[in-house]
Amino acid sequence: MRHRKSQYNKLVVTLCIAVVIGAIGALATQGFRGLLNLLSLFLYQHPDSPVHTASLLPDWLKILTPALGGILAGYILQKVHYQAGEQTDYMEAITLGNGSLPIKQSLLRAASSAISVVSGSSIGREASMIQLAALSGSLLLNQFLSHLPNKRLLVACGAAAGITAAYNTPIAAALFVSEIILQTITFETLAPLVISAAVAQLISSSFIGEGAIYHFPALAQHLGISWYWYALIGMIAGVAAPILLKLLNITRQLFQKTPIPLWGKLGVGGLIVGVLSVGETAVWGNGYETVNFLFANPLSLTALIVLLLYKVSATAVSTGSGAIGGIFTPSLLVGAIMGSIAFHIAAFFQPNMANSAIWIICGMGAFLGATTHAPLMAILMLFEMTQAPQAIVPLMLSTVCGFILSKGLGSTSVYARALPESHQGTTPIDHLIKKDPPTLAYPPNIEIADQLFKTYLWPHIYVTDNEFRFLGAISLHDFRALESKQALAEMLNVPDCYIRMNYPRIRSDNLVEEAINVFVTHQGERVPVIGEDGKLIGYMTKNDLLKRLGQHWQD
């Protein structure tokens, strides 16, 4: 009974803090939106949409603006210095770290993103909004509530608030963080996320209103479309999603191999976007206005294919060059185009087909489900974005079909680079084990210990018995803190009191997921690896683990 009351009290405290984080996150998101408007006013004398801005510029400025913006954004991004093991992305901080986000790096990334977005890069502005909302939660916790054990969940509440304030989708925001980032849906995790999202929605609606962000036209109650056409939309998206993700990876790798500084890479990416914008101004920005245009003005099949090629190319070079921004919103435009293409295919076999608007929303949902591997979130996200109840059943069918086919083709989630997916936890760690760590036989010898610390420069030396079974570790801090050889001798004559017997360790038969859990609670860079018999086999580094995850995400 006492335990239940304690758990209840903890939940109440968490929910109260989630309210504050939701409010701060919403304000941080609106602050970034205001920054973008100010930059647009400064550069173009109006805070209009990127596509409309591009249409007003002469061709030479369409080319020059993204290129110069990329150079400046890259220069700012080069000022970001990463510390070993530091997570600067909110998803990594929540899943792999302790929920803490570095202030300087996050702000510089946001500044770089703002320059890229305003200068026409084909990326979403929402990623930086969410990052800043999560940063606000992290700062609140680190400054005032550093003792809390569930900081990662509360920083996730900041991310949910940011998604809500960016998209006007409180339900989908809570589910996005729960389903994709935390990868668990329980009352203890979902309740704080819902509270944060709800508070963020109440605050952000006073800035941007409560209406749908996509202007979905009214539909007839009976659309007269056979169910298999909706399945077709899902199949097109399910096949296209792996192709797009592969293209993004290839482009990213090509830019990484290019021997020029980061500012040069972003400049080249911006230059390519600028050249593409001469042929199609819709490549600028995240694609909001283009989707709304497609709802009201159906394009020909040829025009749709051209638009698709231009937008995919611009998004690939923008993200591949290293520009800070999301592809969530640009991928919605790609899905909308695919839905429109499916409409033309169906109209060829069945003339007098119903309005293409329903096909657009189904394409958006199907492509989102296929790229994120989160169909439930995709359905709710599109429902909230369009507020079209007539589309919910077709949307469900298309989205599930797209997800299943994409999964069947072996595609990974678009967020796989930032998140350790559940199936990655089934990977053994044997290939990550390094041999010959600095080892001290029990009982420890003063001279050998001193020499090992000087040679290896490690903060800990491992201690084993005469059969090489791992006992624990002696820290350099404890070793150097003693002022005399006599004190050191006394320490090593009664080593059981000074050897850290509870020092973390990983078994050689553990999986990657289990190794991640050990490193999450261990501040060091290395952890000893032992066999089933308890004998010391070697050690494993945090850096190698993260590199292995990165290689897996690129495969």
Rounded Cα distance, 451 and 16, in Å: 53
Q: pLDDT (tens digit, 0 to 9) for every residue of the chain, 555 residues total?
A: 554 566 667 778 888 888 999 999 999 999 999 898 898 888 888 777 888 888 888 999 999 999 999 999 999 988 775 544 455 677 777 776 666 777 888 888 889 999 999 988 988 888 888 888 888 888 887 666 655 557 778 888 989 999 999 888 899 899 888 878 777 777 778 888 999 999 999 998 887 777 777 877 766 444 556 677 888 899 999 999 999 988 988 998 898 888 888 889 999 999 999 999 999 898 998 888 888 888 888 888 999 999 999 999 999 999 988 888 888 888 999 999 999 998 888 888 877 766 678 889 999 999 999 998 888 889 999 988 888 887 888 889 999 999 999 888 877 777 765 554 443 444 566 667 888 888 888 877 777 887 887 777 788 888 888 888 888 888 877 777 664 555 555 555 545 556 788 888 888 777 676 777 777 777 778 888 888 778 888 888 877 777 666 544 443
Helix, strand and coil in the chain, % to nearest 5: 65, 5, 25
Rounded Cα distance, 513 and 522, in Å: 15
Which one-letter amino acid corresponds to residue 469? R
Residue 183 Ramachandran class (φ > 0 left, ψ -120 to 50 alpha, else beta)? left
137 and 158 Cβ atoms separated by less than 8 Å: yes
* Domain 227-419 listed as CATH 1.10.3080.10: yes
Nearest to 319 by CA among 243, 241, 414, 238: 414
Sheet architecture: strand order including 460-464:
439-441, 460-464, 470-475
> Residue 507 in 3-state DSSP?
strand
pLDDT at 436: 81
Tokens 């989160």: give the residue: 374
Q: CA–CA separation, 507 vs 539, rounded Å?
A: 10
State the DSSP string of 252-276: HHHHHHS-S-HHHHHHHHHHHHHHH
Question: Of 297, 394, 301, which is closest to residue 347 (Cα–Cα)?
Answer: 301
CB distance 509 to 532 below 8 Å: yes
H/E element, 470 = strand 470-475
pLDDT of residue 268: 93
Q: Where are the domains of the chain?
A: 2-48+79-167+169-208, 227-419, 426-554
Which pLDDT value is given to residue 492? 56
Which of these, 387, 334, 369, lies nearest to 170 by C-alpha position? Answer: 387
Tokens of 485: 């050889």
CA distance to 112, 258, 270, 273, 408, per residue, from 261 (Å): 15, 9, 14, 19, 39
User: CATH second-level architecture of 426-554?
Assistant: Roll (3.10)
Contact 204, 29 (CB under 8 A): yes
Q: Which of 51, 69, 121, 54 is nearest to 288 (CA)?
A: 51
